[in-house]
Amino acid sequence: MGAIATFASVALLVAPSFAQTYTNCNPTLRTDCPADSALGRTVSIDLTSASDSFTPQGTTTYGSDGVSFTVSKSGDAPQLTSKWYIMFGKVEVVMKAAPGTGIVSSFVMQSDDLDEIDWEWLGADGAEVQTNYFGKGQTTTYNRGAFHADAGSQTTFTTYAIEWTSTQIVWSINGVTVRTLQPANADNQYPQTPMQIKFGAWSGGDPANAPGTIQWAGGQTDYSKGPFTMVVKSLQVADYSTGSTYSYGDQSGLWTSIKSNGGTINNGGSSVIVNPPAVTATASGQPIPFTPTETSVYVQPSVYPWIPGTTIATSTAAQPTYANYPGLPSGWTVSNSGKVVPPSAAPVINIPTRFLYAIFCSLTGVIYWRF
Protein backbone atom coordinates (compact mmCIF):
# COMPACT_ATOMS: atom_id res chain seq x y z
CA MET A 1 0.00 0.00 0.00
CA GLY A 2 2.99 2.29 0.55
CA ALA A 3 3.97 1.73 -3.06
CA ILE A 4 0.42 2.50 -4.16
CA ALA A 5 0.43 5.71 -2.15
CA THR A 6 3.71 6.75 -3.73
CA PHE A 7 2.42 5.99 -7.21
CA ALA A 8 -0.77 7.96 -6.56
CA SER A 9 1.20 10.97 -5.30
CA VAL A 10 3.36 11.01 -8.41
CA ALA A 11 0.37 10.59 -10.71
CA LEU A 12 -1.59 13.46 -9.16
CA LEU A 13 1.22 15.95 -8.51
CA VAL A 14 2.96 16.05 -11.89
CA ALA A 15 3.35 19.72 -12.84
CA PRO A 16 3.57 21.07 -16.40
CA SER A 17 7.11 21.73 -17.57
CA PHE A 18 8.39 24.91 -19.21
CA ALA A 19 8.33 24.72 -22.97
CA GLN A 20 11.55 25.20 -24.85
CA THR A 21 11.97 28.41 -26.77
CA TYR A 22 14.74 29.51 -29.08
CA THR A 23 17.67 31.84 -29.38
CA ASN A 24 19.45 33.23 -32.45
CA CYS A 25 16.10 33.32 -34.22
CA ASN A 26 15.41 36.62 -35.95
CA PRO A 27 11.78 36.84 -37.14
CA THR A 28 12.74 39.27 -39.91
CA LEU A 29 15.10 36.68 -41.39
CA ARG A 30 13.17 33.46 -40.88
CA THR A 31 9.61 32.21 -40.41
CA ASP A 32 10.01 29.44 -37.82
CA CYS A 33 10.64 31.61 -34.74
CA PRO A 34 8.38 30.87 -31.74
CA ALA A 35 5.95 33.42 -30.32
CA ASP A 36 7.13 35.62 -27.45
CA SER A 37 5.54 35.16 -24.03
CA ALA A 38 3.59 38.34 -23.20
CA LEU A 39 3.53 40.08 -19.85
CA GLY A 40 0.18 41.62 -20.77
CA ARG A 41 -0.27 43.59 -17.53
CA THR A 42 1.49 45.81 -14.97
CA VAL A 43 3.79 44.32 -12.35
CA SER A 44 5.81 45.76 -9.45
CA ILE A 45 8.80 43.59 -8.61
CA ASP A 46 10.72 43.86 -5.33
CA LEU A 47 14.26 42.66 -5.98
CA THR A 48 15.38 42.34 -2.37
CA SER A 49 14.75 38.64 -3.01
CA ALA A 50 14.89 36.54 -6.16
CA SER A 51 12.01 36.90 -8.60
CA ASP A 52 11.08 34.03 -10.89
CA SER A 53 10.16 36.58 -13.55
CA PHE A 54 13.85 36.56 -14.51
CA THR A 55 16.47 34.11 -15.66
CA PRO A 56 19.88 34.81 -14.06
CA GLN A 57 23.22 34.54 -15.80
CA GLY A 58 26.38 34.75 -13.74
CA THR A 59 26.28 35.32 -10.00
CA THR A 60 23.62 37.64 -8.58
CA THR A 61 23.13 38.22 -4.85
CA TYR A 62 20.15 39.56 -2.93
CA GLY A 63 19.96 41.74 0.17
CA SER A 64 17.99 44.51 1.84
CA ASP A 65 19.06 47.00 -0.87
CA GLY A 66 18.10 44.78 -3.79
CA VAL A 67 19.90 42.52 -6.25
CA SER A 68 23.64 43.07 -6.73
CA PHE A 69 25.60 42.51 -9.92
CA THR A 70 29.32 42.36 -9.09
CA VAL A 71 32.28 42.43 -11.45
CA SER A 72 35.48 41.37 -9.71
CA LYS A 73 37.49 39.63 -12.44
CA SER A 74 37.76 39.27 -16.18
CA GLY A 75 34.71 37.55 -17.66
CA ASP A 76 32.24 38.54 -14.91
CA ALA A 77 28.98 39.70 -16.48
CA PRO A 78 26.06 38.96 -14.13
CA GLN A 79 22.63 39.81 -15.49
CA LEU A 80 18.90 39.09 -15.28
CA THR A 81 16.68 38.52 -18.33
CA SER A 82 12.88 38.66 -18.17
CA LYS A 83 10.89 35.54 -19.00
CA TRP A 84 8.30 37.69 -20.77
CA TYR A 85 8.12 40.46 -23.35
CA ILE A 86 6.21 43.72 -23.54
CA MET A 87 4.77 45.32 -26.66
CA PHE A 88 4.91 49.05 -25.99
CA GLY A 89 4.79 50.11 -22.36
CA LYS A 90 6.61 51.80 -19.52
CA VAL A 91 9.49 50.47 -17.45
CA GLU A 92 10.80 52.08 -14.25
CA VAL A 93 13.90 50.83 -12.44
CA VAL A 94 15.25 51.98 -9.06
CA MET A 95 18.99 51.38 -8.94
CA LYS A 96 22.58 52.48 -8.27
CA ALA A 97 25.20 52.13 -10.99
CA ALA A 98 28.55 50.41 -10.46
CA PRO A 99 31.73 52.52 -10.11
CA GLY A 100 35.06 51.73 -11.74
CA THR A 101 36.89 52.68 -14.90
CA GLY A 102 35.74 50.46 -17.74
CA ILE A 103 32.79 49.04 -15.77
CA VAL A 104 29.41 49.32 -17.52
CA SER A 105 26.02 49.06 -15.84
CA SER A 106 23.33 48.28 -18.40
CA PHE A 107 19.54 48.36 -18.51
CA VAL A 108 18.40 47.15 -21.92
CA MET A 109 15.11 46.48 -23.66
CA GLN A 110 15.78 44.19 -26.63
CA SER A 111 13.64 42.35 -29.16
CA ASP A 112 14.21 39.16 -31.14
CA ASP A 113 14.94 41.19 -34.28
CA LEU A 114 17.42 43.34 -32.30
CA ASP A 115 15.45 46.51 -31.72
CA GLU A 116 16.95 48.08 -28.57
CA ILE A 117 16.23 50.87 -26.08
CA ASP A 118 18.95 51.37 -23.50
CA TRP A 119 20.34 53.05 -20.42
CA GLU A 120 24.13 52.69 -19.94
CA TRP A 121 26.23 53.96 -17.01
CA LEU A 122 30.00 54.15 -17.41
CA GLY A 123 31.74 53.63 -14.08
CA ALA A 124 34.49 56.08 -14.92
CA ASP A 125 32.01 58.98 -14.57
CA GLY A 126 29.36 58.80 -11.85
CA ALA A 127 27.80 62.12 -12.89
CA GLU A 128 26.27 61.08 -16.22
CA VAL A 129 24.30 58.36 -17.98
CA GLN A 130 24.01 57.38 -21.63
CA THR A 131 20.80 56.64 -23.54
CA ASN A 132 20.76 54.82 -26.84
CA TYR A 133 18.57 52.94 -29.32
CA PHE A 134 19.01 50.60 -32.26
CA GLY A 135 16.59 49.36 -34.91
CA LYS A 136 17.01 45.81 -36.21
CA GLY A 137 20.64 45.82 -35.06
CA GLN A 138 21.62 48.30 -37.75
CA THR A 139 24.89 50.14 -37.28
CA THR A 140 24.93 52.45 -40.27
CA THR A 141 25.67 55.38 -37.99
CA TYR A 142 27.02 55.83 -34.46
CA ASN A 143 25.32 59.09 -33.53
CA ARG A 144 22.32 57.75 -31.64
CA GLY A 145 23.82 57.72 -28.17
CA ALA A 146 23.45 60.74 -25.87
CA PHE A 147 24.85 61.62 -22.45
CA HIS A 148 22.76 63.19 -19.66
CA ALA A 149 23.67 64.72 -16.30
CA ASP A 150 23.08 62.18 -13.53
CA ALA A 151 24.94 63.24 -10.39
CA GLY A 152 25.10 60.61 -7.65
CA SER A 153 24.25 57.66 -9.90
CA GLN A 154 26.76 55.46 -8.08
CA THR A 155 25.87 56.51 -4.53
CA THR A 156 22.12 57.21 -4.51
CA PHE A 157 19.16 55.09 -5.58
CA THR A 158 17.62 56.79 -8.61
CA THR A 159 14.50 56.05 -10.66
CA TYR A 160 15.11 55.69 -14.40
CA ALA A 161 12.18 55.23 -16.77
CA ILE A 162 11.53 54.44 -20.41
CA GLU A 163 8.07 54.97 -21.87
CA TRP A 164 7.77 53.39 -25.31
CA THR A 165 4.86 53.79 -27.73
CA SER A 166 4.42 53.74 -31.51
CA THR A 167 4.81 57.52 -31.61
CA GLN A 168 7.54 58.28 -29.09
CA ILE A 169 10.18 56.99 -26.68
CA VAL A 170 10.72 59.03 -23.50
CA TRP A 171 13.72 58.56 -21.20
CA SER A 172 13.36 60.19 -17.75
CA ILE A 173 15.32 60.43 -14.49
CA ASN A 174 13.32 60.81 -11.25
CA GLY A 175 10.33 61.86 -13.34
CA VAL A 176 12.20 64.50 -15.36
CA THR A 177 12.38 63.92 -19.12
CA VAL A 178 15.94 63.91 -20.44
CA ARG A 179 15.36 62.67 -23.98
CA THR A 180 12.64 61.83 -26.49
CA LEU A 181 12.65 60.09 -29.85
CA GLN A 182 9.97 60.05 -32.56
CA PRO A 183 9.93 57.69 -35.57
CA ALA A 184 10.46 60.58 -37.99
CA ASN A 185 13.81 61.31 -36.30
CA ALA A 186 15.05 57.73 -36.07
CA ASP A 187 16.39 57.20 -39.61
CA ASN A 188 14.02 54.25 -40.14
CA GLN A 189 15.40 52.54 -37.06
CA TYR A 190 12.61 53.18 -34.57
CA PRO A 191 12.32 50.25 -32.08
CA GLN A 192 8.85 48.74 -32.43
CA THR A 193 8.79 44.98 -31.77
CA PRO A 194 8.16 42.94 -28.56
CA MET A 195 10.98 43.40 -26.07
CA GLN A 196 12.55 41.53 -23.20
CA ILE A 197 14.22 43.36 -20.31
CA LYS A 198 17.88 42.68 -19.52
CA PHE A 199 20.01 44.35 -16.87
CA GLY A 200 23.37 43.77 -15.27
CA ALA A 201 27.02 44.81 -15.16
CA TRP A 202 30.08 43.95 -17.22
CA SER A 203 33.58 45.21 -18.00
CA GLY A 204 33.72 47.09 -21.26
CA GLY A 205 37.27 47.98 -20.28
CA ASP A 206 38.50 44.40 -20.05
CA PRO A 207 41.96 44.21 -21.67
CA ALA A 208 40.69 41.44 -23.98
CA ASN A 209 38.04 43.69 -25.52
CA ALA A 210 38.36 45.56 -28.80
CA PRO A 211 40.11 48.95 -28.52
CA GLY A 212 36.93 50.78 -29.55
CA THR A 213 34.96 49.11 -26.78
CA ILE A 214 37.60 49.94 -24.16
CA GLN A 215 37.66 53.55 -25.34
CA TRP A 216 33.87 53.84 -25.19
CA ALA A 217 33.83 52.30 -21.70
CA GLY A 218 36.16 55.01 -20.39
CA GLY A 219 39.42 53.09 -20.27
CA GLN A 220 40.92 49.77 -19.21
CA THR A 221 39.55 48.10 -16.08
CA ASP A 222 41.89 47.61 -13.12
CA TYR A 223 40.33 44.64 -11.29
CA SER A 224 42.62 45.17 -8.30
CA LYS A 225 40.50 48.22 -7.44
CA GLY A 226 37.29 46.18 -7.35
CA PRO A 227 34.97 44.55 -6.80
CA PHE A 228 32.52 46.81 -8.66
CA THR A 229 28.80 46.43 -7.91
CA MET A 230 25.56 47.60 -9.52
CA VAL A 231 22.44 47.35 -7.29
CA VAL A 232 18.81 47.23 -8.49
CA LYS A 233 16.18 47.67 -5.79
CA SER A 234 12.93 47.34 -7.70
CA LEU A 235 11.27 47.35 -11.08
CA GLN A 236 7.82 48.36 -12.32
CA VAL A 237 6.76 47.26 -15.77
CA ALA A 238 3.56 48.20 -17.60
CA ASP A 239 2.83 46.29 -20.80
CA TYR A 240 0.47 48.46 -22.87
CA SER A 241 -0.63 45.43 -24.91
CA THR A 242 -2.47 42.35 -23.67
CA GLY A 243 -2.62 38.65 -24.39
CA SER A 244 -0.56 35.55 -23.70
CA THR A 245 1.93 35.70 -26.58
CA TYR A 246 3.14 38.12 -29.25
CA SER A 247 4.13 36.92 -32.72
CA TYR A 248 5.43 38.44 -35.94
CA GLY A 249 2.79 38.43 -38.68
CA ASP A 250 5.41 38.88 -41.39
CA GLN A 251 9.11 39.68 -41.78
CA SER A 252 8.77 43.46 -41.97
CA GLY A 253 9.62 44.13 -38.33
CA LEU A 254 6.87 46.79 -38.21
CA TRP A 255 4.72 47.10 -35.10
CA THR A 256 1.58 46.93 -37.23
CA SER A 257 2.49 43.35 -38.16
CA ILE A 258 2.73 42.15 -34.55
CA LYS A 259 -0.12 39.89 -33.44
CA SER A 260 -1.41 39.10 -29.96
CA ASN A 261 -2.79 35.73 -28.93
CA GLY A 262 -5.80 36.35 -26.68
CA GLY A 263 -5.45 40.13 -26.48
CA THR A 264 -4.74 43.27 -28.43
CA ILE A 265 -1.70 45.27 -29.53
CA ASN A 266 -2.02 48.73 -27.99
CA ASN A 267 0.21 51.52 -29.22
CA GLY A 268 -0.96 54.24 -26.84
CA GLY A 269 0.52 55.94 -23.83
CA SER A 270 1.32 59.55 -23.09
CA SER A 271 1.00 62.26 -25.73
CA VAL A 272 4.07 63.30 -27.66
CA ILE A 273 6.27 65.83 -25.85
CA VAL A 274 6.39 68.91 -28.06
CA ASN A 275 9.53 70.58 -26.69
CA PRO A 276 11.95 67.81 -25.66
CA PRO A 277 15.25 68.65 -23.95
CA ALA A 278 18.36 69.00 -26.07
CA VAL A 279 20.86 66.15 -26.07
CA THR A 280 24.55 65.83 -26.91
CA ALA A 281 25.61 63.03 -29.26
CA THR A 282 28.44 60.75 -28.26
CA ALA A 283 31.80 60.73 -29.97
CA SER A 284 32.46 58.35 -32.83
CA GLY A 285 33.86 54.92 -32.13
CA GLN A 286 31.22 53.70 -29.70
CA PRO A 287 30.62 49.96 -29.97
CA ILE A 288 27.89 48.38 -32.03
CA PRO A 289 24.99 46.28 -30.71
CA PHE A 290 25.19 42.52 -30.50
CA THR A 291 24.11 41.08 -33.86
CA PRO A 292 24.14 37.26 -33.93
CA THR A 293 24.85 35.63 -37.27
CA GLU A 294 22.12 33.27 -38.44
CA THR A 295 23.93 30.73 -40.62
CA SER A 296 27.66 30.69 -39.95
CA VAL A 297 30.26 30.10 -37.28
CA TYR A 298 31.04 33.32 -35.45
CA VAL A 299 32.69 34.79 -32.40
CA GLN A 300 30.43 37.03 -30.35
CA PRO A 301 32.03 40.48 -30.25
CA SER A 302 32.89 41.96 -26.86
CA VAL A 303 30.69 44.94 -27.45
CA TYR A 304 27.51 46.73 -26.54
CA PRO A 305 25.60 45.89 -24.49
CA TRP A 306 26.73 42.51 -23.08
CA ILE A 307 30.03 40.70 -22.66
CA PRO A 308 29.92 37.55 -24.81
CA GLY A 309 30.38 33.91 -23.98
CA THR A 310 32.66 31.48 -25.77
CA THR A 311 32.80 30.94 -29.51
CA ILE A 312 29.70 29.09 -30.68
CA ALA A 313 28.31 27.86 -33.96
CA THR A 314 24.85 28.42 -35.36
CA SER A 315 23.00 26.74 -38.18
CA THR A 316 19.90 27.37 -40.22
CA ALA A 317 17.88 25.44 -37.64
CA ALA A 318 16.55 27.36 -34.65
CA GLN A 319 18.44 26.30 -31.53
CA PRO A 320 16.51 25.44 -28.36
CA THR A 321 17.71 27.03 -25.13
CA TYR A 322 16.38 27.92 -21.72
CA ALA A 323 18.96 30.61 -21.05
CA ASN A 324 18.52 33.51 -23.43
CA TYR A 325 14.87 33.59 -24.42
CA PRO A 326 13.21 31.51 -21.70
CA GLY A 327 9.59 32.58 -22.17
CA LEU A 328 6.52 31.15 -20.50
CA PRO A 329 4.46 28.16 -21.66
CA SER A 330 0.85 28.61 -22.68
CA GLY A 331 -1.46 29.19 -19.74
CA TRP A 332 1.20 30.43 -17.31
CA THR A 333 0.78 33.97 -15.99
CA VAL A 334 2.64 36.60 -13.97
CA SER A 335 1.28 38.01 -10.69
CA ASN A 336 1.32 41.70 -9.76
CA SER A 337 4.55 41.10 -7.85
CA GLY A 338 6.22 39.50 -10.86
CA LYS A 339 5.86 35.89 -9.68
CA VAL A 340 5.39 33.32 -12.42
CA VAL A 341 2.20 31.38 -11.74
CA PRO A 342 1.24 28.02 -13.32
CA PRO A 343 -2.25 27.37 -14.69
CA SER A 344 -4.99 26.86 -12.10
CA ALA A 345 -4.72 23.46 -10.49
CA ALA A 346 -6.95 20.85 -12.05
CA PRO A 347 -9.92 19.76 -9.92
CA VAL A 348 -9.16 16.94 -7.53
CA ILE A 349 -10.41 13.61 -8.84
CA ASN A 350 -11.26 10.94 -6.29
CA ILE A 351 -9.81 7.79 -7.84
CA PRO A 352 -10.96 4.51 -6.21
CA THR A 353 -8.16 2.73 -4.41
CA ARG A 354 -8.79 -0.50 -6.34
CA PHE A 355 -8.30 1.38 -9.62
CA LEU A 356 -4.93 2.72 -8.44
CA TYR A 357 -4.01 -0.77 -7.28
CA ALA A 358 -4.86 -2.17 -10.71
CA ILE A 359 -2.63 0.41 -12.39
CA PHE A 360 0.16 -0.40 -9.94
CA CYS A 361 -0.13 -4.13 -10.69
CA SER A 362 -0.08 -3.57 -14.44
CA LEU A 363 3.09 -1.48 -14.16
CA THR A 364 4.95 -3.77 -11.76
CA GLY A 365 3.81 -7.21 -12.88
CA VAL A 366 2.23 -7.99 -9.52
CA ILE A 367 -0.67 -10.43 -9.85
CA TYR A 368 -3.90 -8.46 -9.53
CA TRP A 369 -6.18 -9.54 -6.72
CA ARG A 370 -9.65 -8.02 -6.90
CA PHE A 371 -11.04 -6.60 -3.68
Per residue in 78-98, pLDDT tens?
999 999 999 999 999 999 999
Residue tagged active-site, from 92, 120, 163, 294: 120
Q: Is 120 a catalytic residue?
A: yes
Query: For residues 191, 197, 203 and 207, what is the CA-based torsion angle, rounded to 10 degrees?
Result: -50
Average pLDDT, the chain: 76
Asked whether residue 298 is domain-assigned, the answer is no
Q: Is 163 a catalytic residue?
A: no
Q: What is the band of 291 on the pLDDT scale with cuts at 50, 70, 90?
A: very low
Asked whether residue 338 is domain-assigned, the answer is no
**Displacement of CA 289 from its chain's centroid (Å):** 15
Does the structure show a pLDDT above 70 at 187? yes
Which range, of 10-19, 56-65, 327-336, 342-351, averages the lowest pLDDT? 10-19
Asked whether residue 182 is domain-assigned, the answer is yes
Residue tagged active-site, from 116, 128, 163, 294: 116
Does the structure show a pLDDT above 80 at 25? yes
For the whole model, what pTM was predicted?
0.75
Q: What is the band of 286 on the pLDDT scale with cuts at 50, 70, 90?
A: very low
Asked whether residue 370 is domain-assigned, the answer is no
Q: What is the pLDDT of residues 43-76, one digit of tens each?
A: 999 999 999 899 999 999 999 999 999 999 999 9
CATH number at residue 193: 2.60.120.200
Asked whether residue 257 is domain-assigned, the answer is no
Q: What is the pLDDT of residues 124-154, one digit of tens each?
A: 999 999 999 989 887 655 567 888 999 999 9
Asked whether residue 263 is domain-assigned, the answer is no
Asked whether residue 154 is domain-assigned, the answer is yes
Asked whether residue 305 is domain-assigned, the answer is no
Q: What is the pLDDT of residue 257?
A: 97
The number of folded domains in the chain is 1
